[in-house]
């Protein structure tokens, strides 16, 4: 899975954004914290949810189950707006 090409990732002042292009079915702006930005960057290339969790564990000092829950929630929300290409 990865972020669809119809979405552009952008970072500004510590805030991560996902902006749909005219080809996306979603219209709006997704704004998130730096952690969401890391998740979205990892989803720039084809990967799995487990691989994202593993890479997040390398970056953050938190229990695996906490990171896994956060990653799952982010991916679920991105799927809801049609931003994930499985």
Residues 9, 29: contact at Cβ < 8 Å? no
Structural domain that includes position 32: 2-85
pLDDT, tens digit, 9 for 90 and up, residues 29-55: 999 998 999 999 999 999 999 999 999
Which bin fits 83, alpha (ψ -120 to 50), beta or left (φ > 0)? alpha
Number of separate domains in the chain: 1
Task: Give the pLDDT of residue 45.
Answer: 96
Task: Give the pLDDT of residue 13.
Answer: 86
- Tell me how crowded residue 73 is: count the other CB atoms within 10 A of its CB: 12
Mean pLDDT value of segment 58-78: 97
Task: Give the pLDDT of residue 52.
Answer: 98
Mean pLDDT value of segment 60-69: 97
Please indicate whether residue 86 or residue 71 has the higher confidence score (pLDDT).
Answer: 71
Which tokens sit at 22? 């005219």
């Amino acid at each position: 899975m990865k972020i669809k090409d119809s979405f552009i990732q952008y970072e500004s002042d510590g805030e991560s954004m996902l902006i749909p292009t005219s080809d996306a079915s979603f219209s709006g702006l997704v704004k998130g914290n730096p952690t969401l930005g890391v998740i979205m960057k990892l989803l720039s290339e084809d990967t799995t949810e487990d691989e994202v969790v593993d890479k997040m564990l390398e970056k953050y000092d938190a229990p695996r189950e906490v990171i896994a829950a956060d990653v799952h929630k982010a991916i679920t929300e991105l799927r809801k707006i049609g931003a994930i290409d499985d």
